[in-house]
Structure 1
Amino acid sequence: MEILACAHCGAALTGPVTRVRFPPYANHPVGNGHPMPVLMDAGTYAVDPEPSGGPWRPWADLAEGEAEARGYYAPVAGVRDGRVGRLLCAPGDATGTVLVPERADGTCCGITGDNLSCASCLRPVGGRDDGCSIWQAARFDPRAVRTVPAGPDRPPADWTELVHDRSGPLPVSERGRWNERCTQETTLALAHLIAAADGHPVRIEHGHATALLGPELARRLGTATATGPAKRCALHGPDLPLVGPRPDLALVPLHPQTGEVWPAPPGVRAVPLHVEVWRHLAFHDERPAVRAGRLLRAELARDDPQPLHRGYWLWVDHRLMRDVLARHPAVRRPGVRAVYDVLLRGYDH
């Protein structure tokens, strides 16, 4: 574990925190005017491996070969040239900081900007994000903070614990709405699934996963873009081995702390999916909802987990999907590029 400390005076800016996987969607706004939850779990922090913040350079201004050197394989609107290595934690963990309203940027919906200072020396150290459609987080400038050892890390959860964890909320509420983290993680998996299929149609062979992911795959890999025979995809992971003929692709769980991916058998291409979503798809009880009068609703609400409400489709963040594909080498292949070009034009196919 580490403490994030002020690089100038050495005062602690956080309590002990453990480094975990960086959420790839941390810098992506979600929707428009949407109130967002906290990005990082309490007691954790992550380091952004990419430039974040301004300045912003249009794609046309990049030198030849610069885009690919930075990991872009298809055109995007522009790239960030901000600082690399920003550190993120939950706002509640930034106990050694003070908010400076005079430095708070933002709009009518909240605050952003470099608005946090060290509570001891008042030097600027980062910013508190709390605006519409952006993840709530405390972000630290890597030049203004340093990590100080604070004892051994907590051992990461093992796969058995993760798969059978029932302590947190389900990805889907009893009203059928997916939480923001799971929609983003599912969007990541769908983008990687499209890339792994090389633009071929994908047939998911698992009832619950088929119902939720199938419509989006059918839209993205429809007759206008997809070519060749369909790729078979199954769920595979702890307590869910592959049975029967081997599929072409397998949705496997991704460890939320370490970023470890559950291995697929030889000849099967693994596509990682956050374990919180994976276990919901793999083990969710497919009990049909029962019509009942008002007097029985309290008894029905005791079911755990709740039967899935079928009134909502999975919302997919197409801007995030587009950006993930732009940074995937597979986008240089015709089938995947056709999907990307539709997303780039900004309308649904």
Structure 2
Amino acid sequence: MVVFVCAECGAAMTTKVARVALPDHSGQKYGHGLLPSLLEPGTYVVDPGDGRPWEPLKPEPESHGVRLLTYCVSGAPNRIGIAPGDVRGTVFIPERLGGCCCGWDGQYGPNLACARCGCPVATRVDDCGFWQVVWLEPEAVRPVAVDGPAQRVIDWAELPTTPPVDPRGFWSPLWEAAAAVALAHLLAASGGERVSVPKGPVAQVFRRVIDRLLPPEPPERHLVLAGPGLSAATTDIALVPRHPQTGEVWPCDAGAVVPLSAGVWTYMAFNDDRRLVPAAYGMPAVVRRDDPPPLLPSSPFRPDGRVFLSTLERLAAVRQPWLRRIYDRVKDRPHMDPFA
């Protein structure tokens, strides 16, 4: 475990924290309500960011019908995210707190300073529509190893599960973000060819968007669920879980591997949301149960378009003209069907 301290004066800025994998929804903006903390207490993440610009691309023949540009996407690399309750020894910087709605979105830069020396050290984000988190500036703090209980890494058989529906009956924003990240990797793995998906929740999440972004003609590649508890199968593309703590991707022998958030993958692999149909002559009263049927959204599933674009920007495959056309198409119309 580590404690992050001020790089200038050495004052402690956090409690003891252990590193976990960066969640897919770390950069998501969702709705207009107040969202919970991005991270569990006692954990931290490192966001590699997108401060590295895309390398200049060689001109392509005009027959491709695309114009390739060089982009530099804003964002400080290697920011350290922690739960707001794990912050210590900081004070707000008043002049950097304005212009928001229900909280602070960090648009004016670091808004927390070291209480001892006054150096800006972090940015608290807790405005409506943002997952609550404190981003420590990588150059303003440094980690110090401390004694503490060793972090227990859960086994693959203990992966958590994330329900697809929130208490209001809407699609979970965690699913929308996780599917968007996986979709970017899936498109890159497809090579621009049509992809078939298995029936059930995988098809519910991916088939509609794949049919709109990839050509309908063969050749065709095949996507299957693979991972702990499932029989091994040789396939073109495998949808596998990504460990929530280590970030490790489940290894398999597929031609290409598409990582998916462990909680979403587990639900897809082992839950069945099909509703029971009463028998022809009804069900005896003594057999009926009081459990309500599972919540199922009335609207089609829509991956988060902004998360999809930010993920695609970081993949080398986006330099390929066919995938760049998809990127530009979604970027020009971020609210196009099938994205939210």
1:218 maps to 2:211? yes
Residue 275 of structure 1 deviates from its aligned partner by 0.6
Match in the other structure for 2:232? 242
- The CA RMSD over aligned residues, in Å, is 3.1
For residue 322 of structure 1, what is the amino acid of its counterpart? L
TM-aligned CA distance change 1:338 to 1:112, over 3 Å = closer
Where in structure 2 are the equivalents of 1:306-325 lying within 5 Å?
A: 307-325=294-312
TM-aligned CA distance change 1:310 to 1:36, over 3 Å = closer
In 2, distance between residues paired with 1:290 and 1:76? Answer: 55
Q: SS state of the match for residue 232, structure 1?
A: strand
For residue 290 of structure 2, what is the amino acid of its counterpart? E
TM-aligned CA distance change 1:324 to 1:119, over 3 Å = same
Say whether the 8 Å CA contact 2:105–2:125 is kept in structure 1. Answer: yes
1:147 paired residue among 143, 146, 154: 143
Match in the other structure for 2:64? none
Q: TM-score, normalised by structure 2?
A: 0.81
TM-aligned CA distance change 1:197 to 1:51, over 3 Å = closer
Q: SS state of the match for residue 55, structure 2?
A: helix
For residue 147 of structure 1, what is the amino acid of its counterpart? P
1:270 maps to 2:254? no
Match in the other structure for 1:252? 240
| 113-122 vs 201-210, which moves further | 113-122
Say whether the 8 Å CA contact 2:176–2:303 is kept in structure 1. Answer: yes
For residue 239 of structure 2, what is the amino acid of its counterpart? L
TM-aligned CA distance change 1:217 to 1:299, over 3 Å = same
Match in the other structure for 1:177? 170
Q: SS state of the match for residue 261, structure 1?
A: coil
**Count of matched residue pairs:** 316
In 2, distance between residues paired with 1:7 and 1:144? Answer: 5
TM-aligned CA distance change 1:69 to 1:131, over 3 Å = farther
The runs of at least 4 consecutive aligned structure 1 residues that moved more than 6 Å come to none
Where in structure 2 are the equivalents of 1:319-334 lying within 5 Å?
A: 319-334=306-321
Unpaired stretches in structure 1, ≥5 consecutive residues: 53-61
Deviations 1:103-154 (A, max 9, x none): 3144234213322123444432212111233331111122221111123640
Say whether the 8 Å CA contact 2:113–2:119 is kept in structure 1. Answer: yes
1:133 maps to 2:129? yes
Residue 180 of structure 1 deviates from its aligned partner by 2.4
Deviations 1:245-267 (A, max 9, x none): x32111000011111000122x4
Deviations 1:257-289 (A, max 9, x none): 111000122x43111001100001000123406
TM-aligned CA distance change 1:93 to 1:280, over 3 Å = same
Match in the other structure for 2:155? 158
TM-aligned CA distance change 1:76 to 1:222, over 3 Å = farther
Residue 31 of structure 1 deviates from its aligned partner by 4.6
Say whether the 8 Å CA contact 2:24–2:261 is kept in structure 1. Answer: no
1:300 maps to 2:299? no
Where in structure 2 are the equivalents of 1:26-45 lying within 5 Å?
A: 26=26, 28-31=27-30, 33-45=32-44
2:79 paired residue among 86, 90, 97: 86
Match in the other structure for 2:2? 2
1:20 maps to 2:20? yes
For residue 248 of structure 1, what is the amino acid of its counterpart? D
TM-aligned CA distance change 1:222 to 1:150, over 3 Å = same
Say whether the 8 Å CA contact 1:342–1:348 is kept in structure 2. Answer: no
Deviations 1:202-239 (A, max 9, x none): 1112422112321122222254xxx5322111100000
In 1, distance between residues paired with 2:239 and 2:116? Answer: 48
TM-aligned CA distance change 1:145 to 1:174, over 3 Å = closer
For residue 21 of structure 2, what is the amino acid of its counterpart? R
TM-aligned CA distance change 1:156 to 1:171, over 3 Å = farther
In 2, distance between residues paired with 1:85 and 1:78? Answer: 16
Say whether the 8 Å CA contact 1:2–1:150 is kept in structure 2. Answer: yes
Q: TM-score, normalised by structure 1?
A: 0.79
Where in structure 2 are the equivalents of 1:37-76 lying within 5 Å?
A: 37-50=36-49, 67-68=54-55, 75=69
In 2, distance between residues paired with 1:10 and 1:290? Answer: 64
Identical-residue share of aligned pairs (%): 39
Residue 95 of structure 1 deviates from its aligned partner by 3.2
For residue 274 of structure 1, what is the amino acid of its counterpart? S
Deviations 1:54-84 (A, max 9, x none): xxxxxxxx9xxx62279xx96476522x543
Match in the other structure for 2:282? none
Residue 297 of structure 1 deviates from its aligned partner by 11
